[in-house]
Structure 1
Amino acid sequence: MRLISTRTASSAETDPTNEYRGRAAYRQAEIRAEKYLEELTERVQSGQYAAELTEDFYVWKKGHVSPWPARLFRSYRTPDRQDYERYIQWMNAVGKLDDYLERSVSYLYMRDLGQALDNPTTQSRVRRTASGLKRSLLSGEGMQEGMPVDGFDTAVLYRWGRQEGIEDTVIWMIAKLKRVSENIPEGLSAEQAQRKLMKIIAGVVLHAREDMDEHTPKEERSRRMDEAVRLGYCYGLTYPFVDDLLDSALLSENEKARYSELIRRALLSGTVPKWDEWNQAFGSESGHNLALIRYIHSELGEAFEYIKSRQGGVGGSIFFEQAYVFFEAQDVDRNKQLEEKGYTAKQLYVPVILKSSGSRLIARSVSQMDEESGDQGFEQRTFYYGIYNQLADDFADLFDDLEAEAVTPYTYYWKHRLERPDLRSPFEMYWSVITYLIRDVYGSDPNTREVILDRAINGLKRARQRLGIPRYEELMDLLTSDMPQLNKVIQQMVKKAEDVEFFDKLLRDQMLIEMKKDREDRERFREQLDEIRAEIDAALPISSESPVPFVGDSLIGAANYSLAGDGKRLRPILARLTAEEGYGLDREAIMPMLKSLEYLHTASLIFDDLPSQDNADTRRGRQTLHTRYDGATAELSGLLLIQQGVKEQASLKGFKPERVLELIHYSARKAEELCMGQALDLKSRGMQLDVERLNEICFYKTGVAFEACLVMPAMLAGAPESEIRLLEKFAYHAGIAFQIRDDLLDAEGEALLIGKPSGKDAANGSSTFVSVLGIGGAKRAMWDHYCEASDAVKALPEGLRFLKHLLDVLVHRER
């Protein structure tokens, strides 16, 4: 059967206005989708699709349905797929991993890149990518061919960026993704938003990567990858802040209508309306959403302008036309009402065809990759392919969509099938799409048939498991009443077929599980920080038991003044979590150790701030001790705090005496190293230092304190030497990352945020990571140390994994 042809053409020659081009493009796309729908409907009505599909299944099942004796005597048992790493290792051990990855990558090339699997170049790239993915999965590197595959692991992402020569871009992306997740309001999923954003970025990066080869100069490759990441992020923002927001209940119907019109105007005019227009459009009704809308306007506006700046000529026109077609189809689909009884097949399916193909058409056009520079069939295959995935997703989401009263072909059929006998089951339409793709779009290519039928059967297997067999069979009876013979074949495949799993499904499930757990752990960690800080704050004040009350009370009051500042208490908090979470030590028993750490740290700050050293006026958001009192009082208060710290350590009870003595000795050695670090810092003032000397100073000034907070609880618990070495590695790199972040805040931060005047290091003539490396270089160095510290955390026991969240706090903090 002849394929429906011709791409949506630019109308620039007939009318110069963006609005005319956009609306004309939508109408042309509608006509094309209507013709596609007619082809699919004809197949359903004639029964042609069922006969063709039965033939395809007969060929396909030979590689997926084993004779029953073979199934009976199978010697291996499939592990739980949620045990991600074990499942991958098992697949490799039983010889299934190669085929599993090859079909997974083939599917990605079909879906995201619009490639034909019978193309020798595509086949070669699929094998190469699958081979690289296998190596990375088995080695635990977390990346393949430069593409992150391990969820939202910032260390993996940064290392990928470094490999591609775009570290600065990845640092920018990580900061942007963090900011987006912080602005996802209640009612929307931050995990889903991050996952969708990463998926879109990866899709645009894939397009850029596939447009290059080994002959592409390194500088050109880095430039294109940089642009792909930024364009992917900018385009991906539309998912959380346009699609998801308009699908949610956060905005009223009036707000949604006004918001849709603002987005439509931007796409048709090529210009984002100013904030005043947005503010006026939403008005007083949106008071509770105003901060969110303002952030969205700023971020979407910046993203829109970046995409616009990268478009030009015909490519730019195609991007805005396709973006408008995509948005308009979504808006038409979104505004359907489930109670409306009169929707036609065109009204139900045409917007679905347009929006399901639009996302990937835009992903290609946003990178300025048109058909003249690549595969001539990309646009055609992508246009026909999209509805296949959309109908599969709508089937999987049927009951959720019914609860939300969303209109999809499935929910509409479910709701109105009894009173509308003219409605055909969307499940039939789904299989009609599959036969059309296999036979007419891909020319009965065996690899294509394999991947498409694998995917379809896998989706039904997952539904059967998710819904339970009784509910699943009830649903199948309802959806397949007009295709009983074909359904019998399909359900046999669902029950008996093997080796139809896909890596992207496993990865998606794993990502969502990990991201949800990570968010819960991160929130718990932040709550713990606040709770522990409050407990430590309450325990820190030194009681007035001086034999010389007139002088002693004054000196103790000065020490308590320093202790009462708005400190982060990171050191005792870190020690408390290490002791309690990592080693199960009693929180009351370790309180003297926690107090000693804060006493010793506060004493070091008092000395650092003195006129003879840093000459600081403010610390922890208040006057430094020597400016509040005088230099002598500050010096004596610092000495008092040191002795108070030793006294607290000597009062530790419930531990082996030799461990307590070892701890006191260790603490004294670390205090000595801190003094050496400060002396190194003072001696280096006004000198041009290199990174090696900065690292040395930083470790002795900051890193040894982090190390002590980790190692001291481990010593009390009798931890093995190997763990202590890993804790020391973490402390070294985390301490330097912490100091670099301090330097960045000093260079870029605001005094009210960081609690001390910014720019103080520059005023003192101090060499810092920023002065030596520049802001960009300092950020790269910080992330290099982040990665090293992250490696140490991964090698530590599960109870110490909270250190990952501490690491994130250190590099993302604003004070």
Structure 2
Amino acid sequence: MVDQQYQTAEKKAQAYFQALVKQLDEPQFTAKLTEDMQAYQRHKKSSFLNYDHIALTQDQQFLQKLGQKGMLDDYLHRSISYIYLRDLGRDITSTTMQQRIKSVAEDVKTYLHQHSNQDLFSLAKLYRIAEKESLEATYFWLMKKLKHVSSLIPEGLNKVHAQRKLIKIIAGVLMHEIEELQEETSQDVRAKRLDKAVRIGYCYGLTYPFIDDLLDASVLSNQEKNQFASLIRHTLRTGVLTPLSEWDGDNREIVEPIYHELTDAFIYLKENQEPENLDNFYQNAYLFFHAQEIDRNKSLDNPDYTNEEVYIPIILKSSSSRMIVRSFQTFFANDQVEEHMFYYGIYNQLADDLADMEQDLASNSVTPYTYFLKYRDQRPDLINPFAMYWSVISYLINNVYKGDEKTRQIILNRAINGLKRLRKRLGKQQYKEIMQTFSVSPSFDSFLQKVVERTKNVAFFDKLIRDKMVETLQQQEKEKVRFRKTIEGARDAINQLLMIKKTDQKAIVNHSIMDAANYSLQGDAKRLRPMMTWVMATEGFGLSGKDIIPLLKAIEYMHTASLIFDDLPSQDNAQIRRGRPTLHEEYNSAVAELTALWMTQKAVQEQTELRKYQADKILDLIAYSTRMTQDMCMGQIMDLEAKGKELSVEELNRLCLYKTGIGFEAALMMPAIVAGAREGVTKAIKQFTYHAGIAFQIKDDLLDLEGDSTVLGKQAGIDSQNNSSTFVTVLGEEQAKKEMWKHYCDAIEALENFPHNISFLKQLMDYIVQREK
């Protein structure tokens, strides 16, 4: 069935291709194009601000500058119009659609005024959006899935590219769904439909990293690629999944989990579609996959491909990839959306292939541009792909959109923007050489380049967002790597500093306490608090790392002492701590109690070693740290008294503040006191640590519920055994996750008032809510 449908689609693509070729052969083709360009120029508003160079270099203040000059409205309206034209296949000329575009542009403008460029893709901002739409559970699911996908992407594939494409597909499906929602739709129904759209977008989007990218890369052998492609083809042709029972190759450990995730995704797509859409889904999915396979299996060493063999698969895959999204839902509006998508696809593909030509040549990929470059001297019959690109533009403007002025402006703005970006990236000389290679006609070439040179203000919001997303994902990945390195390096360095030396050979009792103290300091400890102290001291306040070593010791001694007390039989009666028996299990309760008391005093002694700082600051420091120790004791009493009682969220928050929050607070406040930080900074520190501490404790409660003792390094399920009230027991698992993410967002927002942009603390918050132990 799908083979027959493919042949039907192929005939339609053939007819479109012939229409495009016929245009190229018409004597007045370039003259007509020039007329369109002249009309475009006449209607292109002149402006006193040239922002092209700002947009092309992605200046951080670009949007703010547009707003200051009164140009943001026009920029957003044009950009949103293009998204409706390209991604949604809508006729943007109607009054209703113009009103809709204006409304969306206003919403985007409001959002931009509330957030900086750096915040557009932060976890906190995305969660706030999900929270507003009652999609918190969807957010949790998606974060878990994206993390899983990242772990499955093998070396050799671009993880940032994969994440960007996946997020883009999810956003595309969401846009389609949002456009079909009626104003009277209830919040509950809206949330359910948007949740389904996110899951569908994810399942469909997996095809890019796990099928396209994997089959394009050199990770698998050719034999393995054929096996994998055969499994996908059989599923799309029959609708029946084939188990991965046998695998002939060395990369089963890569393919198996990927195929399992694809299997789950396919089942979800199959089971969550209307019956009347299912055949349409299979058809478009097969069209896309098969056309991709035809292109993928081409060799740049083959000089005999016809023009049809070069272009027909491109028309099919570029159109079907968009129409797959249309098959997921039942749409009410029908203003020739699918027809528009069919004709529009190749325009984007040819623009992308021109921009990616260097990479395609390097990878020996066959595209209209790479094939023309290699064989243009031997094959005078080959169609110039840049001329074909302009034929597509002319066809869209004059045949599909009937010469509509607004549509013409959008399409030509986009084309000119693409050429300006290409020239900026390549440099004027290389760009000039490429344009000469792909010359359409001398007169048109000259006119086109004058338009490219003279036309101003054709930047598009989606390009800025795409570039910002890539930049953000790359930056986040770098920060994660740096965070992991800091964690590992700092943990090792701190571990070496913490061990208490036996200086008095005659004090036998002290030796046993020191042995017990050192025993408690060892094991698989995270050392988060001294790391926080180190980063805040050195990056936040510029203090000497060498000089604040006593402060690191004091922080960890205080924290470890609190854990010893916490684990005692008279309190939590824990058997495992930091992956080994607790101190009272290894020694006895008396030694544990005395060692913990001894370590609190050792922490005070270490603070007196900060001799390079003003005495009054050290006195303030000691006063603060001893007060914090008192508060932690109060917190532990509150915890003991709460056992067997049902606490409210407010009581749990107060308990967290005393048990966890003040430990985090001390880690940042103590270097702040030494540095003499101003009041605004100390207030921000307290806000951050309050929310960070609660988020940390809720994650601990969740891990106690679902974690593995061997991974946690401590006994799982101990809260249940002790009949302790936790965020999970009070709120339930799902609501506890929501509470954790709310505090995560509040902590991230508090960081905006810190003295410097300390990326470590942002990464620390990500670690807190995503950790597995």
Aligned partners of 2:178 and 2:421: how far apart in 1?
Answer: 32
**Counterpart pick for 2:467 among 509, 516, 519:** 509
For residue 589 of structure 1, give the secondary structure of its aligned residue in structure 2.
coil
Give the deviation of 1:85 after TM superposition: 4.3
**Counterpart pick for 2:101 among 101, 118, 126:** 126
Match in the other structure for 1:57? 37
**For the Cα contact (< 8 Å) 1:158–1:171, is it kept in 2?**
no
Give the deviation of 1:415 after TM superposition: 0.5
Match in the other structure for 1:543? 501
Match in the other structure for 1:153? 122
For residue 82 of structure 2, give the secondary structure of its aligned residue in structure 1.
helix
Matched, 1:755 2:713: yes
**For the Cα contact (< 8 Å) 2:274–2:330, is it kept in 1?**
no
Aligned partners of 2:359 and 2:755: how far apart in 1?
Answer: 39
**For the Cα contact (< 8 Å) 1:104–1:502, is it kept in 2?**
yes
Aligned partners of 1:272 and 1:139: how far apart in 2?
Answer: 47
**For the Cα contact (< 8 Å) 1:706–1:735, is it kept in 2?**
yes
For residue 683 of structure 2, give the secondary structure of its aligned residue in structure 1.
helix
Please give the per-residue CA displacement for 1:693-746, whole angstroms capped at 9, x wherever unaligned.
Answer: 011101110011111111111222222211111111111111111111100000
**Counterpart pick for 1:399 among 358, 361, 367:** 358
Please give the per-residue CA displacement for 1:99-142, whole angstroms capped at 9, x wherever unaligned.
Answer: 11011001100111110111222111111011111111122178
Aligned partners of 1:76 and 1:756: how far apart in 2?
Answer: 57
Please give the per-residue CA displacement for 1:733-777, whole angstroms capped at 9, x wherever unaligned.
Answer: 111111111000000011111111211101110011111111111
Match in the other structure for 1:115? 90
Task: Give the 3 Å change call, closer, same or farther, for CA 495–199 of structure 1 in structure 2.
Answer: same
Q: In the TM superposition, what are the counterparts of 1:394-543 in structure 2 within 5 Å?
A: 394-480=353-439, 482-543=440-501
Give the deviation of 1:548 after TM superposition: 4.9
Q: In the TM superposition, what are the counterparts of 1:238-387 in structure 2 within 5 Å?
A: 238-276=207-245, 280-281=246-247, 283=248, 285-286=249-250, 289-366=251-328, 368-370=329-331, 373-387=332-346
**Counterpart pick for 2:72 among 94, 97, 110:** 97
Aligned partners of 1:82 and 1:489: how far apart in 2?
Answer: 26
Deviates more, 1:494-503 or 1:153-162: 153-162
Match in the other structure for 1:742? 700
**Counterpart pick for 1:205 among 162, 174, 178:** 174
Please give the per-residue CA displacement for 1:4-34, whole angstroms capped at 9, x wherever unaligned.
Answer: xxxxxxxxxxxxxxxxx22122111111101
Match in the other structure for 2:142? 173
Q: In the TM superposition, what are the counterparts of 1:41-80 in structure 2 within 5 Å?
A: 41-64=21-44, 66=46, 79=54
**Counterpart pick for 1:769 among 700, 724, 727:** 727
Matched, 1:35 2:10: no
Aligned partners of 2:264 and 2:657: how far apart in 1?
Answer: 39
Give 4+ residue runs of structure 1 displaced > 4 Å after superposition. 74-85
**Counterpart pick for 1:651 among 609, 612, 623:** 609
Task: Give the 3 Å change call, closer, same or farther, for CA 435–119 of structure 1 in structure 2.
Answer: same
Task: Give the 3 Å change call, closer, same or farther, for CA 325–173 of structure 1 in structure 2.
Answer: same
**Counterpart pick for 1:705 among 646, 659, 663:** 663
Give the deviation of 1:552 after TM superposition: 1.8
Give the deviation of 1:65 after TM superposition: 7.4
**Counterpart pick for 1:136 among 97, 102, 111:** 111
**For the Cα contact (< 8 Å) 1:104–1:503, is it kept in 2?**
yes
Task: Give the 3 Å change call, closer, same or farther, for CA 503–84 of structure 1 in structure 2.
Answer: same
Aligned partners of 1:156 and 1:752: how far apart in 2?
Answer: 34
Give the deviation of 1:78 after TM superposition: 5.9
Give the deviation of 1:318 after TM superposition: 0.6
TM-score (norm 1): 0.93
Deviates more, 1:297-306 or 1:225-234: 297-306
Aligned partners of 2:554 and 2:257: how far apart in 1?
Answer: 44
**For the Cα contact (< 8 Å) 2:479–2:759, is it kept in 1?**
no
Give the deviation of 1:614 after TM superposition: 0.3
Matched, 1:23 2:6: no
Aligned partners of 1:775 and 1:538: how far apart in 2?
Answer: 39
Aligned partners of 1:80 and 1:57: how far apart in 2?
Answer: 23
**Counterpart pick for 2:520 among 544, 547, 562:** 562
**Which amino acid in the other structure matches residue 100 of structure 1?**
Y
Give the deviation of 1:294 after TM superposition: 2.1
Aligned partners of 1:80 and 1:267: how far apart in 2?
Answer: 42
Aligned partners of 2:165 and 2:283: how far apart in 1?
Answer: 23
Give the deviation of 1:798 after TM superposition: 3.6
Matched, 1:666 2:624: yes
Give the deviation of 1:653 after TM superposition: 2.7
Aligned partners of 2:82 and 2:335: how far apart in 1?
Answer: 19
Matched, 1:635 2:568: no
Aligned partners of 1:326 and 1:76: how far apart in 2?
Answer: 38
Counting matched residue pairs gives: 773
Task: Give the 3 Å change call, closer, same or farther, for CA 508–728 of structure 1 in structure 2.
Answer: same
**Which amino acid in the other structure matches residue 670 of structure 2?**
M
**Which amino acid in the other structure matches residue 575 of structure 2?**
D
For residue 548 of structure 2, give the secondary structure of its aligned residue in structure 1.
helix
**Which amino acid in the other structure matches residue 373 of structure 2?**
W
**For the Cα contact (< 8 Å) 1:154–1:174, is it kept in 2?**
no
Please give the per-residue CA displacement for 1:506-559, whole angstroms capped at 9, x wherever unaligned.
Answer: 111122112212211221111011001001111111111347533221121111
**Which amino acid in the other structure matches residue 258 of structure 1?**
Q
Matched, 1:578 2:536: yes
Aligned partners of 2:181 and 2:62: how far apart in 1?
Answer: 33
Task: Give the 3 Å change call, closer, same or farther, for CA 308–486 of structure 1 in structure 2.
Answer: same
* Percentage of identical aligned residues: 47
Give the deviation of 1:355 after TM superposition: 0.9
For residue 546 of structure 2, give the secondary structure of its aligned residue in structure 1.
helix
Unaligned runs of 5+ in 2: none
Aligned partners of 2:125 and 2:380: how far apart in 1?
Answer: 54
**For the Cα contact (< 8 Å) 1:237–1:300, is it kept in 2?**
yes
Unaligned runs of 5+ in 1: 1-20, 143-148
Aligned partners of 2:39 and 2:54: how far apart in 1?
Answer: 29
Aligned partners of 1:220 and 1:75: how far apart in 2?
Answer: 45
**For the Cα contact (< 8 Å) 1:793–1:801, is it kept in 2?**
no
Cα RMSD after superposing both structures: 1.7
Deviates more, 1:292-301 or 1:740-749: 292-301
Deviates more, 1:681-690 or 1:312-321: 312-321
Match in the other structure for 1:233? 202
TM-score (norm 2): 0.98
**For the Cα contact (< 8 Å) 2:704–2:716, is it kept in 1?**
yes
**Which amino acid in the other structure matches residue 41 of structure 1?**
V
